[in-house]
């Protein structure tokens, strides 16, 4: 069955889902989005995702023409219309169509779009054996330029990092911030385990505060694992006992090598496995 795409209150077949070529989301990447998962027919942390898209919109002075409750209802109805029990939801809001100029005052009619489809981030064997990262030269956006806490349609920063990692033979890029500290990957948050303590960069390190990141931190605290948000360098990854990534699409995936250095014993570690299993139970509970 072809996906049904929601655009401004109506459902369209994928081939008929269209917006103006003058939309500033297309012309300038002017808009915001979220990635959400549905597991066994249940949408994971929908309220948190909707809160975040509204925060992103406020940060770029974009008025979403729906209330939070209306957007939640639209997402649920789009999932139902697609009969999708397990999949990926992409709600996005563009600035709307306008002229060939940057002035957002010359745009009108913001487009609210909801896509429900499948997504596969990494091959299954990487979840079993772990993956490799490469540090890239493309730094994460400076918070005073385009703040990484805004999940905007302008993803060129992440894409440039992804291109570099692929050229280095890795599927994911480790991105540093403007201070040379570890920020995040091109699409995932980063965690390490050292001496039994779970550590991850804080939001002021230039990261997106991931919904999955927060869920995993809650799981760790509930399991009695000490959790710290603190600045770290690549050195901390190189000497860590374990490393893993989190993200809506990626979920929880181990990292066993970074920049050619083997992390820990080169296999997914016990805390990584524990938190991955805990996350799988959480999303289906």
Whether 120 has a pLDDT exceeding 90, the answer reads no
Span 261-274, pLDDT tens digits: 999 999 999 999 99
* Same domain as 246, residue 133: yes
- Where is 3: in which H helix or E strand? none
User: Are 103 and 134 in a shared domain?
Assistant: no
Q: Are residues 172 and 258 in the same domain?
A: yes
User: Mean pLDDT, to the nearest integer, of 159-167?
Assistant: 98
Check whether 1 has a pLDDT greater than 80.
no
Averaged over 119-136, what is the pLDDT? Answer: 94
Domain residue limits at 144 = 124-283
Q: Which of 151, 179, 195, 257 is catalytic?
A: 151
Residues 228 and 142 in one domain: yes
pTM assigned to the model: 0.96
What per-residue confidence (pLDDT) applies to 268? 98
Q: State whether 153 and 93 are in the same domain.
A: no
Domain co-membership, 142 together with 260: yes
Name the pLDDT band for 285 (thresholds 50, 70, 90): confident
Q: What is the pLDDT of residues 8-22, one digit of tens each?
A: 999 999 999 999 999
187 burial via Cβ count (<10 Å: 0-12, 13-18, 19+):
buried
Q: Are residues 97 and 129 in the same domain?
A: no
Residues 111 and 156 in one domain: no
The residue out of 117, 142, 165 marking a domain boundary is 117
Nearest residue to 110 (alpha-carbon basis) of 171, 141, 71, 66: 66
151 given a catalytic annotation: yes
Among 117, 147, 177, where does a domain finish? 117
- In whole numbers, what is the pLDDT of the chain averaged over residues? 97
- pLDDT (mean) for 208-233: 98
CA distances from 116 to 5, 20, 40, 181, 250 (A): 7, 21, 14, 35, 17
pLDDT of residue 99: 92
How does pLDDT run across 37-63, given as a tens digit for each residue? Answer: 999 999 999 999 999 999 999 999 999
Integer Cα distance of 255 and 133 in angstroms: 7
pLDDT of residue 121: 81
Q: With cut-offs at 50, 70 and 90, classify the pLDDT of residue 2.
A: confident
Number of domains forming the structure of the chain: 2
Q: Per residue in 182-202, pLDDT tens?
A: 999 999 999 999 999 999 999
């Amino acid at each position: 069955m072809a996906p049904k795409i929601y655009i401004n209150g109506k459902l369209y077949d994928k081939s008929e889902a269209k917006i103006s070529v003058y939309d500033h989301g297309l012309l300038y990447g002017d808009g915001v989005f979220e990635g959400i998962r549905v597991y066994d027919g249940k949408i994971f942390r929908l309220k948190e995702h909707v809160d975040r898209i509204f925060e992103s919109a406020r940060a770029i002075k974009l008025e979403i023409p729906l209330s939070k409750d209306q957007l939640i209802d639209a997402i649920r109805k789009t999932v139902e219309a697609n009969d999708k029990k397990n999949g990926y939801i992409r709600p996005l809001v563009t600035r709307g169509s306008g002229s060939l100029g940057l002035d957002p005052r010359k745009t009108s009619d913001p487009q609210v779009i909801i896509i429900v489809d499948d997504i596969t981030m990494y091959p299954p064997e990487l979840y079993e054996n772990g993956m490799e990262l490469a540090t890239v030269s493309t730094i994460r956006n400076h918070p005073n330029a385009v703040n990484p806490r805004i999940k905007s349609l302008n993803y060129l920063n992440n894409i440039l990092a992804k291109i570099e990692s692929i050229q280095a033979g890795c599927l994911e890029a480790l991105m540093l911030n403007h201070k040379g500290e570890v920020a995040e990957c091109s699409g995932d948050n980063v965690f390490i385990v050292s001496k039994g303590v779970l550590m991850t960069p804080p939001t002021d390190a230039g990261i997106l505060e991931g919904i999955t990141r927060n869920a995993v931190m809650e799981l760790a605290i509930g399991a009695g694992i000490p959790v710290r948000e603190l600045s770290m360098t690549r050195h901390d990854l190189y000497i860590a006992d374990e490393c893993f990534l989190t993200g809506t699409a990626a979920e929880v995936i181990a990292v066993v090598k970074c920049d050619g250095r083997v992390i820990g014993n080169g296999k997914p570690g016990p805390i990584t496995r524990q938190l991955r299993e805990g996350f799988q139970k959480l999303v289906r509970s």
